Structure 1
Amino acid sequence: MNLLGKIKSIGALMLGLTLLFSCEKNGDFGFGSDDVSPVEFSVETVGTSSSVVLLDSISSTNLGVGFIGNIDDPDVGKVKATTYAKMELNEDDLNSISEEAILDSVKLSIKFGYLYKDFAKTVRLKVSLLSEQIEDTLHITTNSTAISNELVAAGNILIDELDSVYTIDLDMAFANRLFEIMRDEGPEVASQEAFEAAFPGLAFQTEDNSSNAYGIVLDPESSMIDFYYSEVSSTGAVNVPSTHKITLGDLTHYFGLELDRSGTALEGLTNTNEEYSPSSGLRYIQAGAGIVTKIDLSELETFANLKPEAIVNTAQVSIGPIEEPVDGVTPPTRLLLLLTDSGNRVIRDGQNFRAIQQDGSNPIGSETPLILLYDEDSKTYIGSITSFVGYYFSDVFRRNQFFIAPPSVNGELGNVVFRPEDFKLKVFYSELK
């Protein structure tokens, strides 16, 4: 008799016994001292092994966001973030600037959408002109573009709240030079290509002694250079207020990270896609830098083979309690379990990464990845992988190697540190006696 047949037979037996015992005074089936349950419930904590892997080629191109700032973390080391962006001239609007126009002021507008530390909210921003053009190709976080000594803008911005637009004055020498070229219809503004050759783009950074990192939103609706100038009125007076916008975000932009892990347990982590054992014995995850923790579930396969007819009731993954982060830094609110293999590379399905899927989803899908949610009280990430383990026991879908990774490997800069023994996979199962 197969397993389904056994379950049906036991169900019929239990129903009959329930009806029979309903007339007795000793209580329901399963609670009397003489009753023997045909099902035994158990729990198994599955052993795992782990290591740290440095991923290669983390794309940072045209994400609509860029990172700037400086991080100095005792666990993962130093990070200096710079954002590079082309400027869109919007040359079709230049015909409206007359030869008599007079420049009044120039403002740089920028929106902030991310804070590494939640309390250091004053951005000491500096914006410089690039000395070489940004190539229209895929850029990764280890790339950079040469920066000139010409400072375009600088100033302190106090971020009251994220997703708000803030403005600072542009350097007037740079602003006047650019405005005169636009007003006089110089060859530098004859086309977007000519403009980029003369003004390759901007580099966004913070002062070197700044101690926080920020995410700037690059889109033409909120990130731009506004030229405010006065035009001649019909009576000949120069008093008609006008504007011209040079926008950011529609053209190529990316961010680069300079990483220095010297003096940390990750100092020897230099080769990509290779398993590494940190000297601290801890496990690390760092968004942006491409550091993930690899987990091997080979013991789950051994356990499943020993219990071929076990019924998986529920299975849970937990990571924590994690190590205390730097003051003011909030760990990522979510983590993912991305599938990998012996080559230690993430496995793609189109634009998505293959991952363990949410309960009830297709095990080989990629659109509903399992999310491990962070609990601040217990400092632990928790998620249910019942469907995955159920498919595993049924030998429908078995994979033993995966990465613990942030939900966006290039969308934030946070990190997670934990002890390898604090990754736990518990399987609650039942067996027919």
Structure 2
Amino acid sequence: MKFFSYSSKGFSTASKLLFIIWVSFSMMACEWGDQIKSLVQPNPDDFAVLFSDTATVQLSTVLTDSSFTGAPSRLLVGRYIDPYFGKIQTASFFQPTTQTAITVPVAAEYDSLVLSLTYDNYTYGDTTKQLNLSVHKVLADILDKDAYYNTNSTAFEETPLGKVKINPTPRTTKRLIIKLSDVLGKDIFERGKTNLITSNEDWINLVKGILIKGGASDNGAVIGFRSDLVYLQLHYRIPDVDGVKKDSSVFRSSASYNQILADRSGTIVAKLPANQRVAIPSAQTGNMSFIQAGLGIMTRIDLPSVRNLRFTKYSVANRAFLRITPKQFSVTDQLKAPPQIYVFRCNKNNEFYLGGDGFPLALTNLSTQQPVAISANYTVDVINNKQYYLLDLSSYVTELLTSETGDVGGLLLRTSAFNSGSNRPSTTYPSADTEFTNGLNRLVIGDQKSSDPGVKLELYYTTVKVE
């Protein structure tokens, strides 16, 4: 972009106003490296660039009806108690399968049946506390349903196939091995020796699926495991003239989903309506709003007072930033803040506006009509002891000011983008296999009436003196 010379002589108030509007839009469209040849402004004394951080920012909390948790890349297992969000319990259902007939040598001797899980280094909660994990046999074919959500369940045997007590060490240990029932193991072994498992259908009739879950009274952490590296393994020994040779049959997972449940009774968010069309104002939740992945909790942002700038003569907004600071002491080493938060457009019923590609609409640059950065990183300012996110809302504020009615919808904050940029995008399930459905990171934000306010709209605008 290039700016050319203009003379200030003879500029009327209206001309000055048009000039700064032009400059504002031009600057929004600039990219690094653009050349500015020469810009002679009107008399600088005719302009004043002002700053305000007193605009009203309304916060409310929205709970989605349910979160799509089918076909995840991460299995979530465990339980912890959150002081704001209550008791969080996760479990993973998956279906091991075989691509070929299972054959076991006639001379083989049974050894063991194990479940092998590979950590993916994700944890949420206190990993120093013990978890009581149990493995159960599922009684229905997972593939009987097309889609799974966080509140879904599949019937399973109450008596576990195996149990283990662990202090999770995902950063020092690669895998977790859980020994399973010898009754099931020997049944699979004998069927393999007599060629009774000739297809995956035969296998599914025997083992329709596996459930792994945490103890009902645990208060530790939720642990992440790679869904592509979970499998059952049947071990056996084969006598040989040179000794004993070990071998195994492996049954890898081909379908899975996470169950993520919350008992919010007794918490500040106990009365969150399970209806996305209803946003509960922060005044009804202790002057706080909330974001939580996994359970589909989002914060809605509205800026009802920004349009008052329309009544300030000869003023034009330049830039606008939303600064969000987590509630003091709500972020800990165990209950971490989201690495990023993302902002999307929504209507009065908290339904996402959709773009031309069918995915929820992010903010756009008004000059180029291209999406702007829709996320903000969690910034830790060690020198000033501050933690915050900074979202650029310039295009949204400009639209608020230029709209005839001001009905441009609100903004929803969440912990991840949608899957439009992934290798398996889905407009039917746009949140599938994203951090918002594969994790539990959460954020607590104090509103402007809180004793610890955590939200400000930082607005820069230019005014023209009237002669």
Instruction: State the match for 1:301 in structure 2.
Output: 307
The residue identity in structure 1 corresponding to 2:447 is: P
- In the alignment, which residue of structure 2 is the partner of 1:241? 246
Match 2:165 to one of 146, 156, 174: 156
Match of 1:410 among 430, 434, 437: 437
Offset from partner CA, 1:140-178 (integer Å, 9 cap, x none): 111111121242222133433348322232232222222
Equivalent of residue 332 in structure 1, options 328, 335, 338: 338
Alignment partner, residue 53 of structure 1: 62
Kindly state the Cα deviation for residue 57 of structure 1 after the two structures are TM-superposed. Answer: 2.7
Give the aligned partner of residue 209 of structure 1.
Answer: 217
> Residue 257 of structure 1 corresponds to which residue in structure 2?
260
**1:123-272 paired onto structure 2 within 5 Å:** 123-134=131-142, 135-162=144-171, 164-186=174-196, 189-220=197-228, 222-231=229-238, 233=240, 239-248=244-253, 251-272=254-275
Q: How many residues align?
A: 401
Determine if contact 2:77/2:223 at 8 Å carries over to the other structure.
yes
Give the deviation of 1:180 after TM superposition: 1.8
For residues 284-308 of structure 1, give each alpha carbon's deviation from its aligned partner in whole angstroms, at most 9, with x where no partner exists: 22211112121112333343x3368
**Separation in structure 2 between the aligned mates of residue 165 and residue 146 of structure 1, nearest angstrom:** 27
8 Å contact kept, 1:122–1:158: yes
1-structure distance, mates of 2:157, 2:439: 27
Q: How far did residue 60 of structure 1 move?
A: 0.3
Q: Is the 8 A contact 1:231 1:239 kept in 2?
A: yes
Q: Report if the CA contact (8 A) 1:370-1:385 is conserved.
A: no
Does the Cα contact within 8 Å between 1:123 and 1:158 map onto a contact in 2? yes
For 2:119 and 2:415, how far apart are their aligned partners in 1? 21
Are 1:276 and 2:286 matched, yes or no?
no
What does residue 375 of structure 1 align with? 380
Instruction: Write the deviation string for residues 239-269 of structure 1: whole angstroms up to 9, x where unpaired.
Output: 3322211112xx2211112321111122222
Cα 1:317/1:240, change in 2 over 3 Å: same
Correspondence for 1:423: 455
Provide the C-alpha distance between the structure 2 equivalents of 1:361 and 1:252, rounded to a whole number of angstroms. 45
142 and 361 in structure 1: CA distance in 2 versus 1, 3 angstrom threshold: farther
**Which amino acid in 1 is paired with 2:459?**
V
Indicate conservation of the 8 Å contact 1:308/1:393, yes or no: no
Q: Secondary structure at the match of 1:353?
A: coil
Alignment match, 1:12: 40
Q: Does the residue aligned with 2:218 lie in a helix, a strand or coil?
A: coil
Offset of residue 59 of structure 1 = 0.2
Secondary structure of the residue that 1:174 maps to in structure 2? helix
Q: Distance in 2 between matches of 1:228 and 1:309?
A: 80
Which letter does structure 2 place at the counterpart of 1:412?
G
Q: How far 1:392 sits from its partner (Å)?
A: 5.1
Q: Which range is displaced more, 154-163 or 256-265?
A: 154-163
What is the match of residue 26 of structure 1?
A: none
Flag the 1:326–1:370 CA change in 2: closer, same or farther, 3 A. Answer: closer
When residues 300 and 386 of structure 1 are mapped into structure 2, their CA distance, relative to the original with a 3 A threshold, is same
User: What per-residue deviation string (whole Å, max 9, x for no partner) do you get for residues 2-60 of structure 1?
Assistant: 5697469994366xx9xxxxxxxxxxxxxxxxxx6232111133212222211113100
Cα distance change of structure 1 residues 428 and 225 upon mapping to structure 2, 3 Å threshold:
same
Mark the CA change 1:345 to 1:193 in structure 2 (over 3 Å): closer, same or farther: farther
Give per-residue Cα distances to partners, 1:81-124, cap 9 Å, x unaligned: 111111112325x24x2222222233321122321125436443
- Could you tell me which residue of structure 2 aligns to residue 24 of structure 1? none
Unaligned residue ranges in structure 2 (runs of 5+): 1-13, 24-37, 417-434, 449-453
- Indicate if the aligned counterparts of 2:232 and 2:252 stay in contact, CA closer than 8 A: yes
Separation in 1, partners of 2:202, 2:369: 51
d(CA) in 2 for partners of 1:351, 1:71: 36
**Deviation at residue 192 of structure 1 after TM alignment:** 1.9
Higher mean C-alpha deviation, range 417-426 or range 113-122: 113-122
Q: What residue is the counterpart of 1:316 in the other structure?
A: 321
The Cα shift of 1:406 comes to 1.6
What's the secondary structure of 1:175's corresponding residue?
Answer: helix
Q: Distance in 1 between matches of 2:132 and 2:275?
A: 33
Distance, in Å, in 2 between the alignment partners of 1:360 and 1:191 is 58
Specify whether residues 386 and 275 from structure 1 end up closer, same or farther in structure 2 by C-alpha distance, changes over 3 A only. Answer: closer
Q: 1:224 to 1:348 in 2, by over 3 A?
A: farther
Q: State the partner residue of 2:361.
A: 354
Greater mean alpha carbon deviation, residues 280-289 or residues 210-219: 210-219
CA RMSD of aligned residues (A): 3.2
CA deviation after TM superposition for structure 1 residue 272, in Å: 0.9
- Contact 2:352-2:361 within 8 A present in 1 as well: yes
- Rounded to whole Å, the distance in 2 between the matches of 1:44 and 1:360 is 22
**Structure 1 spans left out of the alignment, 5+ residues:** 18-35
Query: Given the superposition, is the C-alpha separation of residues 69 and 393 from structure 1 closer, same or farther in structure 2, using an over 3 Å criterion?
Result: same
Q: Which residue of 2 aligns with 1:40?
A: 48
Q: Is the 8 A contact 1:112 1:214 kept in 2?
A: no
Determine the C-alpha separation between the residues in 2 that align with 1:13 and 1:62.
58
Q: Percent identity?
A: 18
Q: Distance between the aligned counterparts of 2:461 and 2:49, measured in 1?
A: 6
Moved more, 264-273 or 397-406: 397-406
Of 153-162 and 142-151, the range deviating more from structure 2: 153-162
* Aligned pairs for 1:63-78 within 5 A: 63-78=72-87
